[in-house]
Structure 1
Amino acid sequence: MTNESESNDGTGTDGERPVASAGSDPLTESDSRLAAETSVDVDPSILHLSPAQREARGISDDEVREKFRSVLVYGTDAQKELGDVTLPEISLDRTTLTSVDRHPIDLSGATIEGLSLEHTRVTLPIVLDGATIGSLRLQEAHLEAPLSCSDATITGPASCFEAKFDDDVAFDGTTFEGPLDCDEATFRDDVRFDGATFDEEVTFRAAECHGDSNHLEDNTTFSGATFRASATFRETEFGFTRFDAVDFRAEAVFQEATFTGDAEFRETAFGALADFDEVRFGGDTAFDDVAFHGRADFRGATFSGGARALVDDASFANATFGDDVTYRHASFRFVTFAGADFEGIAHFESAAFDGDADFPDASFDGEVDFDEARFREDADFSNARFDGPCVFRGCEFTGGANHLKDDVSFEDARFADDVDFHDAEITSANFVGTAFGGTIDFSRCVVSERIDFEAHGTDADAFVDFTRGKIRSGRIVQPAEGWVRYDLTLASVGDVDLEAERTRDRRQLLDYFRFCRTEFDEFDGHTFDFSGHREYLDRNSWSIHDFDEPPADAVDREYALAMTPEVIETTYLKAKQSASANGDMKTAGEFRVKRQRYSRRKNLETVRDSEEGIWTRTKNLGRAAENFFLGVTCGHGMRPMRIGIMFAIAPMAFAIPYLFDGPLFETGAEGVYETIYFSYISYTTIGYGDIGPIGPVARFLAGSEAYLSTILAALLVYALVKRSEL
């Protein structure tokens, strides 16, 4: 072995002159110095010998390393062509690698036991295409020229920890048989790992992949790469990036990474956990046709999108989520999940959608949770399929400026299980053709503009709970088959049309609607109109506070209010006020009659309550009696014919006791005709004087007749006036 201090290649005592010290540059030396350096023996022939040939000639590994250094720094373009050579481990740590020219050192197809450039500054291009390298150590190296290592094989560990790459870096097609560490590395220009294979763990924690010089292409690409072990890109900064058709067979962690440009993950497969928590996507992002076989986490992720208005800022079209997926507190602009398949639980709690959110034809096999999500533009769930429980509790569907589209559409969507819209706020919604199979909870839901409901149930017990909800306007249509019941207890209903798809079914519409203490005139200019349902109401005794349950109904429903007489009385009072506001006096009058009937029942309940005071019970007994009398005589003003007939035949009832005759009933009338005549002149207070009451009972009855005629006449006038208002 040749001692470095005694080498005759002009390197000096330390054997390092061909490798310039930090801060020096051979190209700026004096002509005499340059002449001396270029006279160094750079014959690369020993580099082309096989290890066996070197051993046979007694050439040591250190001599090979020194010759390689000389060729690297002083060699000509031809001398730097070292393709297919076999080299021992090359260590050029803690130096500055410069050259008399800018020709690359070409090691294409070479076999190198290891290459170490730790803490080294490299100013010339290095080509390792197709090479086989035992280990690659670039910790804290600074490569100012391109590095090409395509289709290479690195059999040992590779480390670029805190390395800086100022120019292009290419590892496309390369196989990394050992772990790869690029933590905190900086790639200032394009870096390619297309088609690369990573057999062991890969880490790019806090790396920077900017690619500032290229705004037209992708700056960082892993297209078609295969990660057989875990890959970590935590806190990495990317510019324009491609991870399309990548095969992640183990965990892929991108937590808190930043993508300032477009990011493409099309057709990528994630075999285990895909962690994108708190990731910031500043450009357009595409996860089209991606397969997430493990859990996918996008908690707190931000999809800001680019400036292109024709492209969705984030796309998960036709993606498959084979396990649970989480978008809790994620933020989107325009996003599409068209045709996506969610096979596990889908969490979208508190997610914010600032642009259109499209879920058409999406399928949700498990539970779906959009609890308190915010949809500030249009949301489209048309033709979506929900097989598990679905929660939209507290959601806001406020919509955008496009008044020609519904702010949220579930047109032709299918809910096989329970769905919860409790406390949701909706500007306008479309539920035309929607199918429901479980409990449908719209309690406290507020529809500030309009809703179109033409839903059908997949079983006979389909039930929409709109308790305490608010609907300003809209349309609820019962389909040809699969009618749905609607509970509007304590709800506020404005200008809402109730219709049936088949005209012949309209007469039974209100059998499927329950109004209980419902407000009908809360919205100015939008009052519910009962006039279109008179046929049903008249046939059904003007009843609206309950609906028919299916004949074989086994469900023990719990309603928000018990059906007490007081509750029902208030229900018909509000219905009467609504009908009056619409000028429908006929309906208003009928509802007044229904209200009085339940008012009487309420008073009688108080009378029967032993805990009430005597005076209270007595007053309510009087009110009940008065109510009963008005109901029997004139139907609370709605039955003038009844009071008219009663007014006409009342004297006939008094004529009967007069026929008893005798001292108590004596009137001076003889025979039936005169007795009836006497009863009528007493009733009408005419009193011609030819006949008069003589007996004490007859006098009492005659006075009672006169008093009764006054009351009945007043009631007749009251009923006629009320009738004339209809």
Structure 2
Amino acid sequence: DGATLTEPFHLEEATVEGEVSAFDAAFHDQFEAEAATVDGPVELDEAAFHQDVTFDNATFGDTVSARASEFYGDSNLFDDNTSFTGATFRDTVTVQQATFGAVHFEEAVFEGVADFQEAVFDGDVEFTDARFGGTADFDEITVGEDIAFDGVGFGGVAQFRGATFAGGQRTLEDDTTFAGAVFDDDASFAAAAFRFATFAEAVFHGRSVFREAAFDDDARFERVEFHGEAIFEEVRFRGDAAFDDAVFRERCEFRGTTFAGGANRVEADAGFAGARFETDAGFQAVSARTAEFTGTAFGGEIDFTDAELTEFVEFAPRGIDTDVYVDFTRAKLQSGEIHQPSDEWVRYDLTRASLGDVQFVADGAGEERDLLDYVRFCRTEFTEFDGHDFDFGAHRDYLERNDWTIHTFDEPPTGEVTYAVEMTPETTATTYLKAKQAARADGETKIAGEFRVKRQRFIRGESLAVVRDGDASPLARLKNAGRVAENALLGITCGYGMRPLRIAAAFLISPLVFVPLYAFGGSAFATSAGQLDTLGSLATAGGRATFFELVHFSYVSYTTIGYGNIGPTGALARLSAAAEAYLSVVLSALFVYALVKRSEL
């Protein structure tokens, strides 16, 4: 303990049966212990190694402690390293707060706990193909250069909480790599900081936690298998994040994660092409410029509530033995493509979402008719993004074949979905209002007009609900009854201005409504043309003549303020004649109104 050695120290292939203690010792020259065997405890706390340290293929049968020790070396100088390549540690290893230059642990075996808490690695670090049988604790380590855990097997809990992986200056090598690593138990990288990192083809058998981690460059998770719960909440990806062909067998959470993306504009900021989600996935409040979910398999509910996808998103998912439900409630989708697979349907909930120039595409031929039935438009905004309004014109064929309906939604067969907003008449009317405004702003006046018709029908439903409400005041019910009547008149006669032929037909046949009153209404509806006693009178020549005289009288009263050679004699006949004149004015005005509306299309 406390010794200072200035000469090389050699223990190659030596066997030490007892305890080794070098507390606070200083080694100024090489320390060689290749293939050595130490059966007893080893204490190197606060020791300082100023030159090469070699324990390659050494075996430590008891505990090893090197707390706050210093191991200097430079990975660029082959004769100046700290190396434990192929070493075997049969008990606990503790190197808390130790400082390393370049260090090698390739193929090392840690059978007990490996405690590297708060260790500092100033040079390159190699753990390739190492094995950890117990807990591997790397909490709050600091790595200034590159570090490799390729092919490492973690048999116990792996902890890298608060670790900092700064990465080296060599652009051709990965800063931090866990490629092909296998985690048999839980793994935590919570609050860890990475530059470039790859976990490609890694396998997580337990729960994996990356909560509040930060990746300053690209993060590669291609073909990773997550057999346990995967937590990526509040993660910051400042480069591209690739989860292509990854498999999530349990629930995964990306709540609040930011996919900022790097300078590479070819790859998506959030890439999940070919990924497989076998159960629910949470992407609540995520933000990304671009995202890709092409060929992605979903086996549960996919939650994108409050997500913000600000540039381009491409969804081309497929289901796994079940119908897929994607919840975009209050999400913001500026542009992109949303596909429906050719052999099944994926349901998208856009309740209170903001939709830009997103194109809905049916991959199967002839499926366009049902395309939007699997999209829930409910108080959806279509004009929030300047220059990126939703293009209803691109979906005109579907809308026209489906009678311009956008509020219907094919409910998931499970029936377990709870929507943020119930589709009431008021809500439906508001939805069509927003759609109408968007279509009109885009110059699609025909579509805007049809949405106006739909909206008016549901406005009538709102008023009718008040009329039927026993708790409403009599005055409120009366006012809404008037609105229902007015709305119904506009809808029936002219289709709210969109059906001029209907109002033309109504204008032509309206006088016929009064003819039965004049013919069979008794003395109150009598005219100078006379009346008919029964329907059978129409079988006689005189009866038919009288009937046609009454038809003539009704049309004359309808189109003029005079009665011609026939006049009303009964009180109600005079009132009806005046009503016909008034009705003709109203219907004429409605006809002109309908023509004007149609001329705007």
State the TM-score, normalizing by the size of structure 1: 0.79
2:351 aligned counterpart, secondary structure = coil
Q: Is residue 540 from structure 1 mapped to residue 397 from structure 2 by the alignment?
A: no
Q: Which residue of 1 aligns with 2:514?
A: 654
Can you list the C-alpha shifts for 1:557-590, whole angstroms capped at 9, x where unaligned? 2111122211111111111111112211222111
State the Cα distance separating 1:292 from its structure 2 match.
0.5
Does structure 1 conserve the Cα–Cα contact (< 8 Å) formed by 2:342 and 2:365?
A: no
Within a 5 Å distance, the mapping from 1:296-307 to structure 2 comes to 296-307=158-169
State the Cα distance separating 1:161 from its structure 2 match.
0.8
Between the aligned partners of 1:595 and 1:630, the Cα distance in structure 2 is 13
State the Cα distance separating 1:661 from its structure 2 match.
7.5
Which of 468, 481, 484 is the equivalent residue of 2:343? 481
Between the aligned partners of 2:418 and 2:383, the Cα distance in structure 1 is 27
**Relative contact order, higher structure (CA 8 A, sep 6+):** 2
Between the aligned partners of 2:254 and 2:123, the Cα distance in structure 1 is 32
Between the aligned partners of 2:263 and 2:221, the Cα distance in structure 1 is 20
Residues 590 and 144 of structure 1: CA distance in aligned 2, closer, same or farther (over 3 Å): same
Q: Which residue of 1 aligns with 2:48?
A: 186
Between the aligned partners of 2:71 and 2:49, the Cα distance in structure 1 is 5
Q: Is residue 448 from structure 1 mapped to residue 310 from structure 2 by the alignment?
A: yes
Between the aligned partners of 1:154 and 1:517, the Cα distance in structure 2 is 77
Which of 232, 247, 255 is the equivalent residue of 1:370? 232
Q: Which residue of 2 aligns with 1:601?
A: 461
Q: Which residue of 1 aligns with 2:430?
A: 570
Q: Which residue of 1 aligns with 2:541?
A: none
* 1:607 alignment partner AA: V
Which of 498, 508, 511 is the equivalent residue of 2:360? 498
Between the aligned partners of 2:251 and 2:523, the Cα distance in structure 1 is 85
Which of 274, 277, 287 is the equivalent residue of 1:412? 274
Q: Which residue of 1 aligns with 2:571?
A: 696
2:378 aligned counterpart, secondary structure = coil
Within a 5 Å distance, the mapping from 1:281-360 to structure 2 comes to 281-360=143-222
Q: Is residue 711 from structure 1 mapped to residue 573 from structure 2 by the alignment?
A: no
Between the aligned partners of 1:322 and 1:545, the Cα distance in structure 2 is 48
State the Cα distance separating 1:681 from its structure 2 match.
1.5
Q: Which residue of 1 aligns with 2:253?
A: 391
Residues 280 and 662 of structure 1: CA distance in aligned 2, closer, same or farther (over 3 Å): closer
Between the aligned partners of 2:239 and 2:80, the Cα distance in structure 1 is 31
2:572 aligned counterpart, secondary structure = helix
* 2:277 alignment partner AA: F
User: Which range is displaced more, 430-439 or 473-482?
Assistant: 473-482
Does structure 1 conserve the Cα–Cα contact (< 8 Å) formed by 2:557 and 2:563?
A: no
Can you list the C-alpha shifts for 1:266-325, whole angstroms capped at 9, x where unaligned? 000001100000000110010000000111000000000000111111000000011100
Which of 478, 481, 484 is the equivalent residue of 1:618? 478
Can you list the C-alpha shifts for 1:67-99, whole angstroms capped at 9, x where unaligned? xxxxxxxxxxxxxxxxxxxxxxxxxxxxxxxxx
Q: Is residue 687 from structure 1 mapped to residue 547 from structure 2 by the alignment?
A: no
Does structure 1 conserve the Cα–Cα contact (< 8 Å) formed by 2:129 and 2:152?
A: yes
State the Cα distance separating 1:530 from its structure 2 match.
2.1
Q: Which residue of 2 aligns with 1:7?
A: none
Can you list the C-alpha shifts for 1:536-562, whole angstroms capped at 9, x where unaligned? 334434332231136xx2333211112
Residues 679 and 351 of structure 1: CA distance in aligned 2, closer, same or farther (over 3 Å): same
Between the aligned partners of 1:661 and 1:500, the Cα distance in structure 2 is 60
* 1:650 alignment partner AA: S
2:305 aligned counterpart, secondary structure = coil
Does structure 2 conserve the Cα–Cα contact (< 8 Å) formed by 1:151 and 1:171?
A: yes
Does structure 1 conserve the Cα–Cα contact (< 8 Å) formed by 2:67 and 2:97?
A: yes
Q: Which residue of 1 aligns with 2:535?
A: none
Could you tell me which runs of 5 or more consecutive residues in structure 2 were left unpaired when the two chains were aligned: 530-544
Does structure 2 conserve the Cα–Cα contact (< 8 Å) formed by 1:458 and 1:482?
A: no
Between the aligned partners of 2:519 and 2:360, the Cα distance in structure 1 is 59
Does structure 1 conserve the Cα–Cα contact (< 8 Å) formed by 2:561 and 2:581?
A: no
* 1:691 alignment partner AA: I
Between the aligned partners of 1:214 and 1:497, the Cα distance in structure 2 is 54
Q: Which residue of 2 aligns with 1:673?
A: 548
Does structure 1 conserve the Cα–Cα contact (< 8 Å) formed by 2:352 and 2:381?
A: yes
1:577 aligned counterpart, secondary structure = helix
Q: Is residue 466 from structure 1 mapped to residue 364 from structure 2 by the alignment?
A: no
Which of 480, 488, 503 is the equivalent residue of 1:643? 503
* 1:684 alignment partner AA: T
Between the aligned partners of 1:218 and 1:685, the Cα distance in structure 2 is 113
Between the aligned partners of 1:699 and 1:217, the Cα distance in structure 2 is 120
User: Which range is displaced more, 214-223 or 434-443?
Assistant: 214-223
Residues 662 and 628 of structure 1: CA distance in aligned 2, closer, same or farther (over 3 Å): closer
State the Cα distance separating 1:688 from its structure 2 match.
6.7
Between the aligned partners of 1:576 and 1:627, the Cα distance in structure 2 is 18
State the Cα distance separating 1:691 from its structure 2 match.
2.8
* 2:519 alignment partner AA: L
Q: Is residue 403 from structure 1 mapped to residue 278 from structure 2 by the alignment?
A: no
Q: Is residue 150 from structure 1 mapped to residue 12 from structure 2 by the alignment?
A: yes
State the Cα distance separating 1:217 from its structure 2 match.
5.6
Residues 218 and 435 of structure 1: CA distance in aligned 2, closer, same or farther (over 3 Å): farther
User: Which range is displaced more, 657-666 or 591-600?
Assistant: 657-666
- Larger C-alpha radius of gyration, 1 or 2? 1
Q: Which residue of 2 aligns with 1:86?
A: none
1:617 aligned counterpart, secondary structure = helix
Can you list the C-alpha shifts for 1:332-385, whole angstroms capped at 9, x where unaligned? 000000110111110000000111000001111110000111101100000101
Q: Which residue of 2 aligns with 1:110?
A: none
Q: Which residue of 1 aligns with 2:487?
A: 627
State the Cα distance separating 1:662 from its structure 2 match.
5.9
* 1:706 alignment partner AA: A
Between the aligned partners of 1:704 and 1:660, the Cα distance in structure 2 is 18
User: Which range is displaced more, 362-371 or 499-508?
Assistant: 499-508
State the Cα distance separating 1:214 from its structure 2 match.
6.8
* 2:426 alignment partner AA: E
Does structure 1 conserve the Cα–Cα contact (< 8 Å) formed by 2:349 and 2:376?
A: yes
Does structure 2 conserve the Cα–Cα contact (< 8 Å) formed by 1:443 and 1:467?
A: yes
Can you list the C-alpha shifts for 1:584-633, whole angstroms capped at 9, x where unaligned? 12221111111111111111212222333232222222111111111111
Between the aligned partners of 1:360 and 1:214, the Cα distance in structure 2 is 30
Q: Which residue of 1 aligns with 2:30?
A: 168
Q: Which residue of 1 aligns with 2:537?
A: none
Between the aligned partners of 1:169 and 1:661, the Cα distance in structure 2 is 123
* 1:485 alignment partner AA: R
2:565 aligned counterpart, secondary structure = coil
Q: Which residue of 1 aligns with 2:300?
A: 438
Does structure 2 conserve the Cα–Cα contact (< 8 Å) formed by 1:426 and 1:447?
A: yes
Residues 273 and 587 of structure 1: CA distance in aligned 2, closer, same or farther (over 3 Å): same
Within a 5 Å distance, the mapping from 1:230-309 to structure 2 comes to 230-309=92-171
* 2:13 alignment partner AA: D
Could you tell me which runs of 5 or more consecutive residues in structure 1 were left unpaired when the two chains were aligned: 1-138
State the Cα distance separating 1:212 from its structure 2 match.
6.3
Aligned residues: 586
Does structure 2 conserve the Cα–Cα contact (< 8 Å) formed by 1:460 and 1:482?
A: no
Between the aligned partners of 1:609 and 1:555, the Cα distance in structure 2 is 29
Which of 431, 436, 440 is the equivalent residue of 1:580? 440
Can you list the C-alpha shifts for 1:128-171, whole angstroms capped at 9, x where unaligned? xxxxxxxxxxx111111211221111111011110001111111
State the Cα distance separating 1:654 from its structure 2 match.
1.6
